[in-house]
Each structure stands twice: as C-alpha cells, then as structure tokens.
Structure 1
Amino acid sequence: MKLRSLALLSFCVLLAACSKVNQENYSKISAGMSKAQVEQLLGSPTECSGALGMSSCTWGDQKAFISVQYAGDKVLIFSGQGLK
C-alpha cells in the first residue's frame, strides 16, 4: 500500500513539474502570434470567451496562469502570474 501511495505522489509531482504554464513558455509568446501557435506552445486553454472578433483564453489556475487576448486570430496582449 505504501508503494502505491508513493507512486501516486511521484506521478502528481511529475505532472505538476511538466506544466506548460511556466516562465519559459510565457517568454516565447509575442504579439501577432496566431491562436494555433500559442496552443502549440501551451496546449489547450483552460478557459476561453469572446465576442465581436475579440477573445480571451487562459491557461492554468488561480495561482499560476497565462492569459492571452486575441484580436481575430492574432495575439493582441498577454499576461502571466505566479510563473516559475
């Protein structure tokens, strides 16, 4: 039973360490990138919303996230918080 718990804990730590929501990937985002390029870098967003040709997508959670605002299909502005 202890081995199973240790394996599960190790998996969770490894999964958290592999997050694409980090400072390195944030620094690769630039204005004018396409949605496809951002999603290739960060994976599928956690949440998206938008209207009238403008949209906003967020990756991560309340502690660490990257938020990208698009005009059409292109990055307009972006921000991040809690990135390591």
Structure 2
Amino acid sequence: MKLRSLALLSFCVLLAACSKVNQENYSKLSAGMPKAEVEKLLGSPTDCSGALGMSSCTWGDKNSFISVQYAGDKVLMFSGQGLK
C-alpha cells in the first residue's frame, strides 16, 4: 500500500512540474495569435467567458495564472501572475 501511495504522490508532483502555465509559455504569446494556437500551447483553459465577439480565458489558479482576452478568435491582450 505504501508503494501505491508513493507512486501517486510522485505522479502528482510530476504533473504539477509539467504545468503549461509558466513564464516560458507566457513569453510565446503574442497579440493576433489565433485562439487554437494559444490552446495548443497552454491546453484547455480553466475558465472562459464572453459576449459580443469578445472573450476572456484563464489557465491556472488564483496564485499562478495566464489570462488571455480575445476579439473574435485572435488574442487582443494577455497577462500573467505568479509564473515561474
């Protein structure tokens, strides 16, 4: 049973270390980038909302996140916090 717990803990640590919400990926974002390209880089967003052709999507959590605002399906602006 201890081996299984250790394996699960190791997997969780590895998964956290492989987060796509990081400074390296943030630096690859640019205005005008297609939404599909952003999602290929960062994966599926944690949260999205929008109306009238404008939308905002966030990846990560309250401590470390990337937020991207779109006009249509193109990046208008983006911001990040707590990135490593």
TM-score by length of 2: 0.97
1:33 maps to 2:23: no
What amino acid does structure 2 have at the position aligned with 1:65?
F
Superposed CA offset, 1:43-73 (max 9, x none): 1111100001110000011111000000111
Q: Residue 6 in 1 paired to residue 11 in 2?
A: no
1:23 matched to 2:18: no
Match of 1:77 in 2: 77
Q: In structure 1, how many angstroms separate the alpha carbons of the residues matched to 2:5 and 2:27?
A: 36
Q: How many residue pairs were aligned?
A: 84
AA paired with 1:44? S
TM-score normalised over the length of structure 1 = 0.97
Q: CA deviation at 1:2?
A: 1.6
Runs ≥4 residues deviating over 3 A: none
C-alpha distance in 1, partners of 2:65/2:56? 13
State the shift of 1:20 in Å.
Answer: 0.5
Equivalent residues in 2 for 1:37-76, closer than 5 Å: 37-76=37-76
Structure 1: state its 5+ residue gaps: none
